[in-house]
Amino acid sequence: MSEAPAGSQRAAKRRSLVVGNWKMNGSAASNEALLAALKAAPLGDAEVSVCVPAVYLHDVADSLHGGAVHWGAQDCSSHESGAYTGEISAAMLAEFGCCHVIVGHSERRALHGESDALVAQKAATALKHGLVPILCVGETLAEREAGQTEAVVGRQLGAAIALLDKRIDGVVIAYEPVWAIGTGKTATPELAQEAHALIKSLHDTRVLYGGSVKPENAAELLGQPDIDGALVGGASLDPASFSSLCQIAASLS
């Protein structure tokens, strides 16, 4: 792990965390092949996790149990239990050995109208059940162009800090500029670093970058002082790309 330069206030760079977000992709057969390839691939010593569709958690837990790769889910309910048809509780995810759960992904904020307050509540519920929430924040293109990045990210993170107080220390933040997700457009390393430094000025924790991360751009992004890993969508479905990303991340921790 690299140390901060002498005299610097900056915390030492953290061990990298690389999280695959499979989104709504896969099938029982294709997952089996993907997991087999993942288990056989050299991943370096980065911390690695895959967040999979909930219906596959049983199979994924079975396959990854006892190995180095963690697993998790892509969302959880803000409620403990009850009449919430279609929702999955944090307690249920914990029963399947989940380590991580993504909350507040921009696709859920945009497509399911999830508010900052709801996302914060989901993080609280996840923490209560021993899961590590990966709380996504990030601005849309219109917000960036209007100079609102700082305000948007500050508002999203602020809601979680206000609710969680000291418990926020158990949360991993993922900075995912919405315009870079699944678009092939990546934030420049400088721009991503600037956003990560802003986030760490609000709360000093592990901050992952997400948005079209692939082996070709990973070294530059993950080499930034305040980028502690990556949340990876598309490239996590390709074992060779994901393995290569994990190795790059490990080499830069």
Given the rule CB under 6 A, which residues bind ligand PEP?
21, 23, 176, 181-182, 210-213, 231-235
Using DSSP's 3-state secondary structure scheme, residue 214 falls into coil
Nearest-CA neighbor of 137 among 116, 164, 122, 161?
116
Report the residue number, 44 or 104, with the smaller CB distance to ligand PEP.
104
Catalytic residue among 47, 139, 176, 196: 176
Q: Minimum Å distance from CB 66 to ligand PEP?
A: 27
**Alpha carbon distance, N-terminus to C-terminus of the chain:** 5
Write out the two tokens for 158. 């602020």
Catalytic residue among 105, 107, 139, 196: 105
Report the residue number, 13 or 214, with the smaller CB distance to ligand PEP.
214
Q: Minimum Å distance from CB 234 to ligand PEP?
A: 4
Report the residue number, 5 or 172, with the smaller CB distance to ligand PEP.
172
Q: Which H or E run includes 19?
A: strand 17-21
- Judge contact between 122 and 78, C-beta under 8 A: yes
Nearest-CA neighbor of 103 among 147, 72, 82?
72
Q: Minimum Å distance from CB 209 to ligand PEP?
A: 9
220 is catalytic: no
10 Å Cβ neighbour count for 98? 27
Dihedral of CA 231/111/192/13: which sign?
Answer: negative
3 is catalytic: no
Nearest-CA neighbor of 245 among 209, 205, 206?
209
Q: Minimum Å distance from CB 4 to ligand PEP?
A: 28
Report the residue number, 79 or 238, with the smaller CB distance to ligand PEP.
238
Chain residue at closest Cβ approach to ligand PEP: 233
Q: What residues act catalytically?
A: 105, 176
